[in-house]
Amino acid sequence: MPPFVAFAGVLGGLAVVRWAYKTAVRINQELEEMRLSRVAEAAHRGAVQTLKQDPVTGAYRPS
């Protein structure tokens, strides 16, 4: 009986790992879609600012 319990535990653990992996992939895909839509929206509105180097400090600042 103990080998059966150990085998069942391993199968259960693999099922949990598979579920967690699929959930993480799904969530990352949704976040990537949202990020890309926000970037496309900002580009469409012309809200994306370019950076220019400040000749005095050398730091890059929005133009």
Structural domain boundaries of the chain?
1-43
Confidence (pTM):
0.57
Q: Which residue has the higher pLDDT, 25 or 54?
A: 25
Supply φ then ψ for residue 54, to 5 degrees. -75, 120
| Residue with token string 């970037």 | 39
Q: Note the pLDDT of residue 27.
A: 98
pLDDT digits (tens, 9 = 90+) for 26-38: 999 999 999 888 8
Kindly report the backbone phi and psi dihedral angles of residue 60, in degrees, each rounded to the nearest multiple of 5, phi listed first. -90, 130
Amino acid at 46: G
Q: How far is CA 23 from CA 10, 12, 16, in A?
A: 20, 17, 10
